Structure 1
Amino acid sequence: MKIVDAKFLQSAQSVNDSPAPNVAEVAFLGRSNVGKSSLLNTLTNRSGLAKSSSTPGKTQLINYFEIKFKTDNEEMPYIYSRFVDLPGFGYAKVAKSLKAQWNRNLTEYLQLRPNLQIFVHLIDARHPELEIDKNVDEFLNEIKRGDQIIVHAFTKTDKLKQNDLAQLKRVYPEGIFISNLKKRGIMDLQNKITGYLFGN
């Protein structure tokens, strides 16, 4: 099973103006500048699908993308899901009142969205032990339902020495290790997503 098409669906400020929860969703979240947009573009093979910015924290909306998968089932050749690009946390230079609203909307999406199945927590492989990532992990584990999973995807692994990457893999044996530059780990992540959503 593989991704054969992806398109931007809509942006939303909160769960209240989000699309109908009628297909499974995969949420991508991580610190600002962790490489989230680049990963989404590489994963879907759609350059420019998710807009990246040189200004950390610029994305303030919940962005939904419709994802089309090709199956081996002749009776159901295609299956759809959504990838959800969430605002990056940390770094964002916005007014306190806006940031509070933004954080509340983000938290409500993570806690209340009934069709959210997978949390993909992106972590910079060069800085895997930051307090902010530990806090996010604790929060996700607190709110996670029985039908949801958390996937740890370590980005920018091409910037690590081989010994450091090997050590990271020992510490996080269930992690997925990504390099957009070298297209490394992309299929591992896609297979993890399709395996959980569709059981293949």
Structure 2
Amino acid sequence: MESPRIIEAEFIKSAQSIQDSLPEDMSEVVFLGRSNVGKSSTLNLLTNRKNLAKSSATPGKTQLINFFETTYKYGEERYPVRFVDLPGFGYAKVSKSLKQVWQKNLVEFIKERVSIRLFIHLRDARHPHAKIDDDVEAYITEFIRPDQRYLTVFTKIDKLNQKEKSKLKKDFPGAITISNLKKSGQDRVHKEILTTIFDIKEPGDES
């Protein structure tokens, strides 16, 4: 059977907080990561759209929660999933008051949003042990629900040599590596999304 793929993807709306977000009527995959980790490029890679998510030349500029509705095709079946792109963290070029509101809104969203089923944490393969990423993972792990899952995905893997790639796999055995440049790794991410949300496994895959 062919790999799962996204056949429809559409930007729906942006929100500032959980209060003006879309209704919780669809399972959601949340993408989080540092401002310069390549979230927009990753969303475009996964959805096979060039400009679905807009990249900004100024890291940290996207300060809204962005919602995208996607449809997966796997075999003869179709599966609706909502992608949620959260503002990047780690940049201080935001006024102090906005930053406090922004962080409060984000914390409220990730802790209280019932429809979130999967957190995909994008990390830069060149800086795998960045403290801010470790802190975010530790924080979310504290309140993650039994019906939710946390997945680490490393971007910019093509910028590593073979020795660095081997060390990364050893240090993060459960992580997935993707390359927006070589368009690789997205199939594994798709499978994790469908397995987590719909409990779909490939024929013969009992892992």
TM-score (norm 1): 0.96
Give ranges in structure 1 of 5+ residues lacking alignment.
none
Aligned to 1:166: 166
What do residues 129-159 of structure 1 show as CA deviations (whole Å, max 9, x unaligned)?
Answer: 1110111011110110010010000000000
Amino acid at match of 1:192: E
Shift of 1:78: 2.1
Partner SS for 1:109: helix
Amino acid at match of 1:30: G
Change (3 A) 1:187 1:71: closer
Q: Which runs of 4+ in 1 moved over 2 A?
A: none
Amino acid at match of 2:178: I
CA distance in 2, matches of 1:69, 1:164: 33
Partner SS for 1:189: helix
CA distance in 2, matches of 1:5, 1:169: 32
Residues 14 and 109 in structure 1, CA contact (< 8 A), matched pair in contact too: yes
Shift of 1:106: 0.5
CA distance in 2, matches of 1:106, 1:126: 26
Aligned to 1:50: 53
CA distance in 1, matches of 2:39, 2:92: 15
CA distance in 2, matches of 1:179, 1:71: 23
Aligned to 1:9: 12
Aligned to 1:126: 126
TM-score (norm 2): 0.93
Partner SS for 1:150: strand
Partner SS for 2:26: coil
CA distance in 2, matches of 1:194, 1:2: 10
Residues 58 and 92 in structure 1, CA contact (< 8 A), matched pair in contact too: no
Aligned to 1:88: 88
Amino acid at match of 2:119: F
Amino acid at match of 1:106: L
The CA RMSD measured in Å over matched residues stands at 0.9
Residues 12 and 63 in structure 1, CA contact (< 8 A), matched pair in contact too: yes
The alignment covers a number of residue pairs equal to 197
Shift of 1:194: 1.1
Identity of aligned residues (%): 52
Shift of 1:27: 0.3
Amino acid at match of 1:17: D
Partner SS for 1:15: coil
Alignment of 1:146-161 (within 5 A): 146-161=146-161
CA distance in 2, matches of 1:190, 1:115: 18
Amino acid at match of 2:26: V
Shift of 1:2: 2.0
Shift of 1:68: 0.7
Aligned to 1:176: 176
Partner SS for 2:54: coil
Partner SS for 2:170: helix
Aligned to 1:60: 63
Partner SS for 2:102: helix
Give ranges in structure 2 of 5+ residues lacking alignment.
201-207
